[in-house]
Every structure is written in C-alpha cells, then in structure tokens.
Amino acid sequence: MGRATIRDVARLAGVSPSTVSRVLNGKDAGHMRPETKERVLAAIKALDYTPAKAARTLRKKKTGVIAILLPDISNPFFSLLARGVAAVAFEHGLSTLICDSDNSEDKENRYWDLLRAEGVDGVVFVPVGRPDETKAHRLRRRGVDIVVADRRVEGYPTVEADNRTGSASLASHLLSLGYRRIAYLAGPPDVSSAMDRLEGFLEALRGAGVEPVAVLHGDFTYRSGYVLAHRLFSRRHDVEAIVAANDLMAIGALRAAEDLNISVPNQVGIAGFDHVLPADLVRPRLTTVAVPAYEIGEEAMRRLLRGDNSAERRVLPVKLIPGESTPPRGGDSSGEEARRNRPRDKS
Amino acid sequence: MGRATIRDVARLAGVSPSTVSRVLNGKDAGHMRPETKERVLAAIKALDYTPAKAARTLRKKKTGVIAILLPDISNPFFSLLARGVAAVAFEHGLSTLICDSDNSEDKENRYWDLLRAEGVDGVVFVPVGRPDETKAHRLRRRGVDIVVADRRVEGYPTVEADNRTGSASLASHLLSLGYRRIAYLAGPPDVSSAMDRLEGFLEALRGAGVEPVAVLHGDFTYRSGYVLAHRLFSRRHDVEAIVAANDLMAIGALRAAEDLNISVPNQVGIAGFDHVLPADLVRPRLTTVAVPAYEIGEEAMRRLLRGDNSAERRVLPVKLIPGESTPPRGGDSSGEEARRNRPRDKS
DNA sequence: TTGAAAGCGCTAACAG
DNA sequence: CTGTTAGCGCTTTCAA
C-alpha cells in the first residue's frame, strides 16, 4: 500500500541507501561493481519503486516543474502556445503546470503566490495586461527564471511575433487592393502585441497618406469584435474594410455584418491576425497574418532551459495570408477576380 | 537570496517553529494568544515568507496537486473541460497539472509514470483510446483517486455526457425533417463516447426503419472529417445528409462539400456533436448537440474531491441545437422555411 | 567501491 | 497556550 522507499530497496538489494541513490542518479560512473548495480536495479523493479519527488526536491532545491501562466487556455492561440512549451519541457524531463489566469489580474497574482510556494524552476508568462511586476520580481529574486511570451514586459526576456511588420504588411496589402476607408478594431491598450499591431497598421496607412476612419479598442474576444463592429456599422455607413487585432474579433465583426445584412466581402472587407484554425473555417476565409504560436512557446521554453536571462527580445517572423474576405476593390488594384457588386447599404 | 524558513520566522517572532506552523495551518482555533499570532504574522510578512511545499508534502503525503491527462489541449472541447477541472481545483486550493498526451498512448503511459513520481493527489483522465489499465491501476493501488471524464473505462468512476440519447434525438430530428439517405462519420471504435453516439444514432434510425447509407470511422479531427466526406462524396451521389461524431469532423465535411461544389444545406445537410465555438462560427450554422464540457470537468473534479471511488457512471444531459445546416427537406416535415432547390450534382 | 550520518523544511505527537 | 522532539524520503559529504 504505502509506496516503497529507498531503504526498502536498499534492504532488499543488501546495500546501503546511498548506493541506491547513486544508481538512481547515474553517479556510478565507472566505479561501481556491475553486480551491485544489477542487484539494485532488480530490487527497484521487484518493489515497483519510484523515488518520491518531494523528498528529492527538498534536498536539491529543484522541482523539475515549470509553469506557464496565461490568460485563457480555451483561446486557440494560447492553447497552441502552451502545447509548444509543454512539448519542449517534456522532452527535457520537466513537468508543465498550466495556470489559467482567466483574464483576471487578481487571479494572475494569486497564481504567482502559488508558483512561489510550489517552487517551480521557471515560468513562461503571458501577462493579462500590464503586469504587477512586483510579484514576478520576487520570484525572480529567488532565482526563478521567467520568460515572457507573445507580449513584452520591461526588463524581461521576451519571445514575441513581429507584430509591427506583419500589421504593416497587412495594411499595405489592403491599400494595394484598393481599400481606403478602413476601421481598426484594436486590442487592449495595455497589451504590447495589441499596440504593436495597431501602430504598425497606422504607420503603413499614414505612409500612404491614409487615415483610419475609426479606431476602437476591444479585448481580443469574439464577443468584443461583434459588439464593436455592430456599433461601428450603426454609426457609419461608409466603411470599406474592418481590420481587427486578432482573428476572433474579426470573426465577431463578420457576424455583426451578417446580422445587419451587410455582405462580406461585397460591401465590406474584413481581416484579422493570428491565423488560428477558426479563421480558416469561416467563410469567406479570413485575410489574416499567421503568427507561429506553437513556435513562440517552444522558443520561450528553450530560453528558459538555457537560463537566458537577458532582457533581449526574440522576434519571430509572421506571414500574410490573403483570404477571400478582402477581395480587390476600387480602381488601382490588380483585380484578377471579377468585381463584385458593392452597393452601400443604408442602415 | 535563499528563501526564509519556518525557523527564521520563529526566531524573529520569538516563538517556536510549531507555533508558526500552527498559525500557517489555522490550527490555532481559539486557543492561541492573539498577540502571539500577531507577532508571527508580522514576522511572516517581514521576511516575505512562503512555506516550502516540498517539505510539507514530505510530511503530509499530500501534494495538493491534481492532474488532468487528456489527448489534446488545443481541441476546444478538451480545453473547456480542462478549464472546468482547474476552476474547481483552484477554489479548493489545489494546483492542476495539465498533461497533453498528444493523442499518443505511448506518451500517455509516460505521463502515468511522471504522475506517479510527482505524487499527485488525484487524476482526471480522458483516455486516448482503450487505456492500458495497468498503469492507472498501479497509481490507484497507491491510493490515488482517478476519475475518467467524457469517456468510459471499466471499473472507474466516470463522468460523461448522455451521448446515446443525444445522438438518438439528433437522428429523430433529421428523420422528422425528411432526411432518409444519411451517412455517419463516426469517431474511433475504441472510444466509448464515439461508439455511444454511433449506436444511439443507428438505433433511432432503425427504429424508423431506416438504414444509414454508410458508416465511416475517423479520429475526431477536422482533417479526418474532410477526408472521409471527400471519399464519400466521390463514391455516392445520393447522400442527403452527413452526420459526424463531433463538430470538427462535421466542419471538415462542410469544407469537403464546398471543395466539390456541393451546396450545403441545399444539396446535402450536415450535423455535428459537441457544440463547440467553431460550430457557431461556421456558415451555415451547424445543427449539433450541446455537450457541457466545462460542467463535465467540474463534476469530475468534484468527484475527485469527494473521494467518490465507486465505479458509478454520472451522466450529464445534452441538448439538441438545430442549425441552418439541416433545413427541412422532402415531404413529411413541418416546413416553416421555404424549400430550397436540391438538384443533385453529378461528379 | 561502499556505508554512516547529517539534514533539507516542515508537521504532529507529546509534554508541560 | 506553547515548546521539544522525532521523523517524512532523499542526497551528499566524509570516512573507510
């Protein structure tokens, strides 16, 4: 019933606990009689022995556990990122504790306390907003490495996507297709990736002498995309395209248009960011920018393993994915597709 | 640098370690001088002390960690279920270790070993296929509770959805709408929920004297739905409806139809199961059956907390969600919607 | 090449 | 009401 201990194994093998420990830890390099080792191994198998991690942790002050603290595991972008982290961790014999802060800074802070008590060896952190750095700092001071993923936090190693460039290329793409009256549904102002996307977009637009017809801030959820687009459509009737800071918001906008009998892409074009699965499932297929979520997770975990604590930013490239939701429009585009009718619907 | 210990706190507060421990564990019920407690609390704060979990675990033989072992965290159904588990666990001060077996029985088995070493207090288990019960049994023999979620494993407590009834009601729904030539895209034969859905469906069909035109097995992924439907369409041209064992496969079928220029729902109706977010995002909106994934997770975790080890099955109700992907067709339906043209496309 | 002994940080009798 | 003591299961000097 009660699990076997190292002493049980030692007794059965007729050796001392230290010897068993040495076998367990591969500290028998060369200088251990093969026969002794055999006996120990046999005893381990006979008793179905597994070393208690807690005891080992207590001695070594290493838990073999890393955590990933993120805002919402049911968001496909984050679950992909988490998979990337876990895969690399698993390869290196580390366990992954997934902590879902549920988009709440309060819960996030409670998780920091938990992680501290748990004694995790490292944390991949996707902050909810502008994080209360003190919590993270305290852990860090105790020698726990922290790598921030997908977003930026001052003074921390970061692995993120090239949001600025990607967003700029999306803007150029739309401009080249003939879109001019463009509204932007941004993410939360305190999230770096959201702001990078917004700024990259505006910069490219302004570089071409174009001003957005509106910039509204949401919170990256499907719901907020729907609400913002709905509001926008009821206020303005001249929008040619809506660009959202992520795919879920873009899909929300798509649904809002649908509910208002505004045809996409005939009357209005829509684009997103991330290239998560739903962006491909939706019709018209979303024009978006592919962000390598899984790879961001992998790279963040690798930095953790490397103990790379420099505040350096690692930026992964992104890729424009043209979809059917933004067909060519107006006069100056290449226009290989037949022009759709684009009557403007009043109200 | 090195974290403070209980002795440091005791020294600073001028008390013994046991007193600090008592404060920490709320074992001061009534009989502790308030002033003493104050001093301890002050010392704890002054030293920014957090008890080391490893040491506590070593003594109490409880880690305060539960695990959820599942096939794919990036599947929206499972990530929702995981959230339900984690939410209840968090409420009770337990940490959740999410283990993603990546649909591989081998990885699943390696995770069992890890969980054993980790000394988790309980496991919510969504098996990949028909699980190698020996691994789970060994843990169980050590007093670790295991609750199986979403699927059934002989001899284990189970929390699942009423797949059979839900699938039967979906079948009846389609029959009442006038569908007769129906193909079924099933899940893996060794997964109980897949088989329950299949059997419930066939039973209802046969109860009405109808035989399915085909039954093909896939693996619950979007991809397999696409492939199977593609194959089906190229072999038969008389299918009136495709019903898939889950929404992702149904969406795959939707895309296959699209790629073959078969109009949904005009030429063929499509239905799924689960009611995950993508089912609502897709157009036509999918007819499906809502499965309470989050609640399954919550209930599984609650059983774990209760130590309810009986092999009893807890079955949660599901709900038919009619969508636009299966409009009324043929003669015997109520037909509140205008009939669509339904020419059969050859090739 | 192996064993003995000390102790990681905490909790739980048992005293007082 | 509080302190003393004895480990939990493991690793790691230090000796032999």
| pLDDT, tens only, B62-108 | 899 999 999 999 899 999 999 999 999 988 988 899 899 988 888 89
Residues A115-126 pLDDT 10s: 888 889 999 999
**Overall fold of domain A6-51:** 434 Repressor (Amino-terminal Domain) (1.10.260)
CB spacing of A281 vs B79 below 8 angstroms: no
**Chain B within 8 Å of A1 (Cβ-Cβ)?**
yes
Question: Is the domain defined by A163-287+322-340 classed in CATH 3.30.1490.190?
Answer: no
Provide the pairing of β-strand A241-244 with A182-186.
Answer: parallel
Q: Quick one: DSSP state of residue A81? A: H
Do A194 and A224 meet the contact criterion of CB atoms below 8 Å apart?
Answer: no
HSE-CB of A137 using CA atoms within 13 angstroms: 8
What does the pLDDT average to over B251-257?
A: 95
Q: Phi and psi (nearest 5°) for A290?
A: -75, 125
What is the model's pLDDT at position A252? 95
pTM, two decimals, is: 0.87
Distance (Å, whole) CA A158 – CA A146: 9
- In the structure, how far is the CA atom of residue B64 from the C1' atom of nucleotide C11, in angstroms? 15
CB spacing of B58 vs A54 below 8 angstroms: yes
Task: State the smallest CA–CA distance between residue B335 and chain A in angstroms.
Answer: 23
pLDDT band at residue B28, thresholds of 50, 70 and 90? confident
- In the structure, how far is the CA atom of residue B115 from the C1' atom of nucleotide D4, in angstroms? 37
- The two three-digit tokens of residue B311, written as one number: 């092999």
pLDDT band at residue A2, thresholds of 50, 70 and 90? low
**Overall fold of domain B58-156+293-315:** Rossmann fold (3.40.50)
Residue B307 Ramachandran class (φ > 0 left, ψ -120 to 50 alpha, else beta): left
Residues B101-137 pLDDT 10s: 988 888 898 889 888 888 899 999 999 987 767 788 8
Q: Is the pLDDT of residue A131 over 90?
A: no
User: Where do the domains of chain B lie?
Assistant: 6-51, 58-156+293-315, 163-287+322-340
Residue at token pair 């099955």: B313
CB spacing of A119 vs B53 below 8 angstroms: yes
Out of A48, A118, A277, the one facing B95 most closely (by C-beta) is A118
Task: Determine which of B56, B68, B73 to mutate to test the interface with A (most A C-beta atoms within 10 Å).
Answer: B73
**Chain A within 8 Å of B95 (Cβ-Cβ)?**
yes
**Chain B within 8 Å of A46 (Cβ-Cβ)?**
no
- The two three-digit tokens of residue B163, written as one number: 């797949």
What is the model's pLDDT at position A218? 95
- Paired residues of A66 in beta bridges: A96, A122
What is the model's pLDDT at position B141? 82
Beta strands in B236-329 (DSSP E): 241-244, 269-271, 288-290, 313-316, 319-321
- Paired residues of B66 in beta bridges: B96, B122
HSE-CB of B133 using CA atoms within 13 angstroms: 8
Residues A237-280 pLDDT 10s: 899 999 999 999 999 999 999 999 999 999 999 999 999 988 98
Q: Is the pLDDT of residue A347 over 80?
A: no
Residues A304-336 pLDDT 10s: 999 888 999 999 999 999 999 999 986 443 433
**Which nucleotide has the least CA–C1' distance to A56?**
D10
Q: Is the pLDDT of residue A337 over 70?
A: no
Q: Is the pLDDT of residue A74 over 90?
A: no
- In the structure, how far is the CA atom of residue A170 from the C1' atom of nucleotide D12, in angstroms? 59
Q: Is the pLDDT of residue B169 over 60?
A: yes
**Chain A within 8 Å of B50 (Cβ-Cβ)?**
yes
Higher pLDDT, A313 or A113: A313
Q: Is the pLDDT of residue B339 over 80?
A: no
Nucleotide C2: nearest residue by CA–C1'? Answer: A19
Do A135 and B50 meet the contact criterion of CB atoms below 8 Å apart?
Answer: no
What is the model's pLDDT at position B2? 59
Contacts of A309 (CB under 8 A, 6+ apart): A145, A157
pLDDT band at residue A346, thresholds of 50, 70 and 90? very low
Domain B58-156+293-315 identical in fold to domain B163-287+322-340: yes
**Chain B within 8 Å of A114 (Cβ-Cβ)?**
yes
